[in-house]
Amino acid sequence: MALYNDTVMEHFMNPQNVGELENPDGTGTYGSPVCGDMMQIQIKVEDEKIVDAKFKTFGCGSAIASSSMATSMIIGKTIEEALELTNKEIIKELGGLPAVKVHCSVLADKAIKNAIYDYAMKNGKVYAALEGYDPNEDEDEHDHDVPEEE
């Protein structure tokens, strides 16, 4: 009996891709310490492919584990592919999270989107998945209004 499964615990205790890049091509953050979870992600892009990614996360076990998993998942992917990554897929790859954690602690898809948005802005790139996207718009969606019972 444990709060998290072994995969989640492994990514929490030994997170992959921790830190900051020296010259990142894009930086994105999502969440805030006030909400209890905040993630920063940086990407290195070569030929439209994410060749490296690093993260820093303030948050609970699932926030850290999902950050580790998400960065592992996007390295080697094209920008277009990375933009399609959903929290659902990250959670699936982690082998599931407690229901109460799903809404508030998985920030990776937004943080990745924000990092790519930053890269697109700096390099004058246009991606269909980012059309009309505003990195600050969805903050309210990150709410804590979930039912108590699982």
Partner 1 sequence: MRNVYLDYSATTPVKEEVLQEMIPYFTEKFGNPSSLYDKGLESKEAVDNARAQIGALINADAKEIFFTAGGTEADNWAVFGTVDKLKEKGNHIITTKVEHHAMLHSCQFLEKQGYEVTYLGIGPDGRINLEELEAAITDKTILISVMMVNNEIGTVQPIKEIGKIAKAHKILFHTDAVQALGNIPIDVKDLGVDMMSMSSHKIYGPKGEGALYIRKGLRISNYLHGGAQENSRRAGTENMTGIVGFGKAAELARVHFDEHVKHCSELRDYLVDRILTEIPDTMVNGTMEARHPGNANITFKYIEGESILLMLNYVGISVSTGSACSSKSLEPSHVLSALGVPVEMIHGTVRFTVGDFTTKEDIDYVVENLKNIVEKLRMLSPVNAQKGW
Alpha helix positions (H), 27-142? 61-74, 79-84, 87-93, 99-105, 108-123
Closer Cβ to partner 1, 8 or 90, answer by number: 8
Binding of partner 1 at residue 17 (CB under 8 A)?
Answer: no
Closer Cβ to partner 1, 14 or 128, answer by number: 14
Closer Cβ to partner 1, 132 or 144, answer by number: 144
Q: Closest distance between partner 1 and the C-beta of residue 57, in Å?
A: 6
Which residues 6+ apart lie within 8 Å of 68 measured at CB? 11, 12, 15, 16, 17, 18, 55
Among residues 10, 16, 49, 58, the one that binds partner 1 under rule CB under 8 A: 58
61-74 and 6-13 are packed helices; what angle lies between their axes, rounded to 10 degrees?
Answer: 90
Binding of partner 1 at residue 91 (CB under 8 A)?
Answer: no
